[in-house]
């Protein structure tokens, strides 16, 4: 048996995007569908942003008038989540006039979504050249609402959902496999209509002329509606409902008014701390303000109020024991939004932009806060997590070990999906420590689906490598002859001519 030393520079995880860093606006609205999907606006939206998602107006078969509102809420939550990420953008696409759009046959795009679901979202993502489509449905649910978000990953916008490992020893050797699950049905949210808006909103001024009197409140949900009054910038408001971009709020105890969501900051519902000791709870959202209490913070805390501090850093007012006070956002390990999927989408943004450490944290946060998520979605998230560890791992061995553990978990969740075995084979073969295990995974994958393209490609690569007597590149301290025989048997059984 040929024994070889460790292969130098074996691993290079090339996931996507070795592109120049270029700051870009984080979000932009496109009323793209008023002129049909072929409308010129679709070509202009965030054109220069390299990695982007589109949030589509949620379909609203029950006519709750919340379809656009929920897409706006999610859009803002995603923007909050990725606010520190360069060259990433989120488009909000909505159809204000409700006109029948003919760009996709004779269907309104919402009807298109309602009937075609993920296939429609993919088509729209292709039009807008985005990597992700976020969309959803608002459905009447007894006396409450069911809000079902969906996430469609557009694999045509670059190979960002493929994990490829290159060999440093053989220059043309690349092992790659797609990450499973590009059509994800996310965990639905069920609640009463009012509860869905029961969250911290804080006023800000978005008028170019400033807000000398404060943020204007309107009597109705329109800019044409008379001004009902003003509230100071930085005030917390009590939202009770929403109509398109207008938040309805309770005002002066017994009155209601509307404020444009552009004049509101949105913050997480909960924040999580990881074993923070002797944290000062402050009387206001400033480092210099007086200390209310010194506390240890570990676990989840409801955000009672929120504000922007110096340098636009978010501050959160929380309760610990009997003390209530403000804590700086930099101490927070995880933010939880009304839609748990925001952390998943944020993680995918980071993965796509090459921030693998951030991706790992966000994806782990998502897995922690969405334990009831479907097995298919969780399996896909574990695969992205594994890919993030491989791509961002400083220590190859540690990264590979953690990635394999993630992939094992993924295989438990979807044991009949060849994709997870393909991916695990790539990691095992690419790391040089699991030649036989990698081959077994290829066999497992082909056994589940003999026509699986990735498994076929992986096997063809291995056959080629074996024919070139190059297996030692992938097999440290392993029985290469046995591996060659195994490859031969797999070729006989599965490989198409």
Partner 1 sequence: MRPLWAVAAAVLLLLAAGRASAACPVTGEVKLGDLPIADADIATVLGGADPVSRGHSGADGRFAITVDPLPRDMQVLKLVVTKPGHAPVLRLLLKAAGSGCPLSPQEPVALDPGLPPAGTTASGGTTATGAGDTETKLCAKRSSLGLTVFIAPYRIYGGGADQAAERLNRDLPEIVHHRILAFESSLAGVTSFPDVSVETICLPLTAAQGERAQEVGHNLNALGVIAGEGELRDSQGKTVIDLVSVFRAMPAYKSYAGVPLSIEDTIPSDSLRPSRIAEQMRDIWGKQIVLAYALQQLASLPATPDQAEIGKLTALMVSLRKTMTADDPLLGQVEQVQALLSDLKTGP
Nearer to partner 1, 137 or 328 (CB): 137
Rule CB under 8 A: choose which of 36, 144, 159, 214 binds partner 1.
Answer: 144
374 binds partner 1 (CB under 8 A): yes
243 binds partner 1 (CB under 8 A): no
Q: Is 223 in the site for partner 1 (CB under 8 A)?
A: no
Interface pick for partner 1 out of 12, 17, 86, 139 (rule CB under 8 A): 139
CB of 417 to partner 1, least distance (A): 4
Among residues 60 and 355, whose Cβ is nearest to partner 1? Answer: 60
- Selected from 170, 293, 448, 463, the binder of partner 1 by CB under 8 A is 448
Q: Count the residues of the shown chain that bind partner 1, applying the rule CB under 8 A.
A: 40
Q: Give the span between the Cα atoms of 73 and 93, in whole angstroms.
A: 13
| CA pair distance 426, 176, nearest whole angstrom | 6
Residue 207: count of CB within 10 angstroms of its CB: 12
184 binds partner 1 (CB under 8 A): yes
Q: Does 227 bind partner 1 (CB under 8 A)?
A: no
Query: What whole-number distance in Å separates Cα of residue 242 and Cα of residue 195?
Result: 12
Write down the least CB distance from residue 145 to partner 1, Å: 9
Q: Give the shortest CB-59-to-partner 1 separation in angstroms.
A: 9
Q: Which listed residue (48, 194, 238, 375) binds partner 1 by CB under 8 A?
A: 375
Q: Is 330 exposed, middle or buried, given 0-12, 13-18 or 19+ CB atoms closer than 10 A?
A: exposed
35, 36, 64, 117: which one binds partner 1 (CB under 8 A): 117
Which residue in 330, 324, 233 sits closest to 282, CA to CA?
324
Q: Of 33, 150, 160, 494, which lies in the binding site for partner 1, with binding defined by CB under 8 A? A: 150
| Residue 466 CB partners (closer than 8 Å, separation 6+) | 483, 484, 487, 488
> If binding is defined by CB under 8 A, does position 126 make contact with partner 1?
no
Q: Does 2 help bind partner 1 (rule: CB under 8 A)?
A: no
Residues within window 311-330 making contact with partner 1, judged by CB under 8 A: none
Long-range contacts of 146-149 (CB under 8 A, 24+ apart): 146/188, 146/189, 146/190, 147/58, 147/70, 147/188, 147/189, 147/190, 147/191, 147/196, 148/185, 148/186, 148/188, 148/189, 149/74, 149/186, 149/187, 149/188, 149/189, 149/339, 149/341
Q: How far is the CB of 462 from partner 1 (least distance, A)?
A: 23
- 449-468 positions binding partner 1, by CB under 8 A: 449, 451
What are the C-alpha distances in Å from 443 to residues 66, 131, 293, 470, 484?
Answer: 49, 31, 60, 20, 14
CB of 469 to partner 1, least distance (A): 35
Choice between 64 and 236, CB closer to partner 1: 64
State which of residues 417, 441, 454, 472 lies at the interface with partner 1 (CB under 8 A). Answer: 417
Minimum CB–partner distance for residue 376 and partner 1 (Å): 5
User: What's the first-to-final CA gap in the chain, in angstroms?
Assistant: 30
| Spatial distance between the Cα atoms of 22 and 424, rounded to a whole number of angstroms | 34
Instruction: Check binding of 437 to partner 1 (CB under 8 A).
Output: no
Taking the least distance from each CB to partner 1, the nearer of 25 and 416 is 416
CA distance 459 to 444: 12
Site for partner 1 in 30-89 (CB under 8 A): 61-62
In the complex with partner 1, which residue's Cβ is closer, 183 or 248?
183
For residue 132, the cross-strand partners are 53, 153
Interaction of residue 373 with partner 1, rule CB under 8 A: no
Shortest distance, position 146 Cβ to partner 1, whole Å: 4
Q: Where are the beta strands (DSSP E) in 234-288?
A: 236-243, 246-251, 255-260, 264-266, 270-282
Q: Which of 486, 468, 483 is nearest to 172 (CA)?
A: 468
Q: Is 185 in the site for partner 1 (CB under 8 A)?
A: yes
Q: Which residues bind partner 1 (CB under 8 A)?
A: 61-62, 114-119, 137, 139-144, 146, 148, 150, 180-185, 188, 190, 374-376, 412-419, 448-449, 451
């Amino acid at each position: 048996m040929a024994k070889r030393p460790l292969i130098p520079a074996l691993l290079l995880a090339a996931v996507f995007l070795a592109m120049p860093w270029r700051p870009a606006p984080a979000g932009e609205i496109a009323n793209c569908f008023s002129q049909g999907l072929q409308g010129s606006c679709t070509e202009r939206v965030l054109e220069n942003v390299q990695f982007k998602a589109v949030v589509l107006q949620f379909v609203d078969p029950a006519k709750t008038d919340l379809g656009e509102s929920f897409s706006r809420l999610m859009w803002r939550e995603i923007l909050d989540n990725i606010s520190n990420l360069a060259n990433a953008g989120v488009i909000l696409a909505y159809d204000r006039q409700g006109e029948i759009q003919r760009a996709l046959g004779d269907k309104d795009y919402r009807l298109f979504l309602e009937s075609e679901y993920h296939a429609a979202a993919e088509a729209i993502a292709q039009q807008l050249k985005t990597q992700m489509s976020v969309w959803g449905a608002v459905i009447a649910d007894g006396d409450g609402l069911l809000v079902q978000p969906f996430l469609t990953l557009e694999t045509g916008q670059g190979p960002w959902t493929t994990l490829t490992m290159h060999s440093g020893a053989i220059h043309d050797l690349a092992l790659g496999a797609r990450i499973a699950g590009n059509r994800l049905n996310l965990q639905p949210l069920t609640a009463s209509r009012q509860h869905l808006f029961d969250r911290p909103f804080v006023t800000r001024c978005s008028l170019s002329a400033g807000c000398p009197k404060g943020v204007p409140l309107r009597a109705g949900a329109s800019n044409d509606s008379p001004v009902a009054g003003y509230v100071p910038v930085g005030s917390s408001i009590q939202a009770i409902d929403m109509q398109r971009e207008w938040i309805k709020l309770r005002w002066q105890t017994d009155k209601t008014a509307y404020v444009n969501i552009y004049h509101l900051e949105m913050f997480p519902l909960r924040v999580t701390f990881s074993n923070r000791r002797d944290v000062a709870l402050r009387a206001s959202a400033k480092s210099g303000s007086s200390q209310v209490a010194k506390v240890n913070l570990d676990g989840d805390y409801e955000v009672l109020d929120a504000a922007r501090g110096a340098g636009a850093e978010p501050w959160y007012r929380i309760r610990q024991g009997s003390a209530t006070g403000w804590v700086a956002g930099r101490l927070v390990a995880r933010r939880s939004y009304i839609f748990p999927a925001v952390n998943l989408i944020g993680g995918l943004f980071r993965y796509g932009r090459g921030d693998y450490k951030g991706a790992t944290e966000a994806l782990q946060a998502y897995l922690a806060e969405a334990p009831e998520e479907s097995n298919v979605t969780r399996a896909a998230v574990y695969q992205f997590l594994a890919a993030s560890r491989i791509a961002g791992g400083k220590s190859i061995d540690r990264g590979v070990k953690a990635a394999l553990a993630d992939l094992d978990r993924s295989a438990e969740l979807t044991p009949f999906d060849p994709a997870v075995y393909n991916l695990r084979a790539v990691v095992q073969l690419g790391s040089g420590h699991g030649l036989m295990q990698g081959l077994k995974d290829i066999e497992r994958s082909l056994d589940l689906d003999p026509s699986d393209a990735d498994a076929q490609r992986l096997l063809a690569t291995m056959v080629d490598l074996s024919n070139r007597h190059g297996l030692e590149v992938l097999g440290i301290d392993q029985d290469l002859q046995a591996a060659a025989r195994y490859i031969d048997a797999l070729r006989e059984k599965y490989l198409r001519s």
